[in-house]
Chains A and B, each alone.
Chain A
C-alpha cells in the first residue's frame, strides 16, 4: 500500500518562480490536508479539503492555492515563491472529516528551498 504519496521529495526554487506540489492517496479517503513545518516547529495547516469539491483555508494560507483535482489528488501551488516559504510540506488524508475520531495518514514530505 502506497498510502499518501507526495512529489517531488526535494525542490529548489528561485524567488518569484512558481511550482505545484502534488499529493495523491490510494485509501479512498474523503478529506485531505496540506501542512508546512519550519525547523524546530510543529506543523501548521495551510489548506484542507473536507470532501471532493471543497477547499478551505487553514492557519497560514497566504501565498498558496490548492486544487482538489479528484478524490485521490490534492495539489498545492506556490504562484510566486518567497524565501519565507522555505519549509517542509506535508500532505495528509483521513477517511472523513470527523478528525475527532479518525486517523490521519501523512506523506513523507516535500523539502522546498526558495533562494
Chain B
C-alpha cells in the first residue's frame, strides 16, 4: 500500500484558515487521495478526495501538487467543531481504505 506522512498534531485559531499537509512520495498513477476526519467518539467521516486536479466542496478544499507527491487539505475558516483527527489516505480501485495515525487538529477559541 502506498504510504502517507502527516504531522502528528497541529493547532489553529478559530476562524482562521488551516492547511493540513500530507506527503505521499510513492503515489502511483491510479491512486486517489482521500481525506477523512474523525471527531471525538465518532466514526470517521468523508471530507474530500481527488486524483490530479484541485477539488472544492462545502467542507474543504484539496490542493494537489503538480507531481502528486504531496497534497494539502484546506479548511477555509476553522471552527471549534473542526477539532478532529484528519486522515490522508491513498486508495486505488482494488483495496479498502488503509488508515494511518492522522493529524490531530486542535482549534483554539
List chain A positions with a Cβ less than 8 A from chain B. 4, 31, 33, 35, 40-45, 48, 58-59, 90, 92, 97-101, 103-109
Contact = CB atoms under 8 A, between A and B. Distances in A.
A43 B99 contact: yes
Contact of B102 (A42, A48, A106): A42
Contact of B96 (A41, A48, A90, A101): A48
B46 A104 contact: yes
Interface residues of B, number: 24
B91 A99 contact: yes
Contacts of B7: none
B93 A35 contact: no
Contacts of A103: 46, 49
A76 B50 CA distance: 32
B96 to A, nearest CB: 5
Given A100-B30, A100-B93, A92 B43 contact: yes
B71 to A, nearest CB: 15
B52 interface: no
A100 B46 contact: no
Contacts of A105: 46
B98 interface: yes
**Residue in A100, A104, A106 with the greatest tally of chain B CB atoms within 10 Å:** A100
19 contacts: A33-B96, A42-B87, A42-B101, A42-B102, A59-B98, A90-B44, A92-B43, A99-B91, A99-B92, A99-B93, A99-B97, A100-B93, A101-B49, A104-B36, A104-B46, A104-B97, A106-B43, A106-B45, A109-B41
Contacts of A92: 43-44, 97
**Residue in A4, A48, A99, A103 with the greatest tally of chain B CB atoms within 10 Å:** A99
Interface of B: 30-32, 36, 41-46, 49, 87, 91-102
A58 B1 CA distance: 12
A45 B43 contact: no
A101 B44 contact: no
Contact of B93 (A4, A40, A45, A98): A98
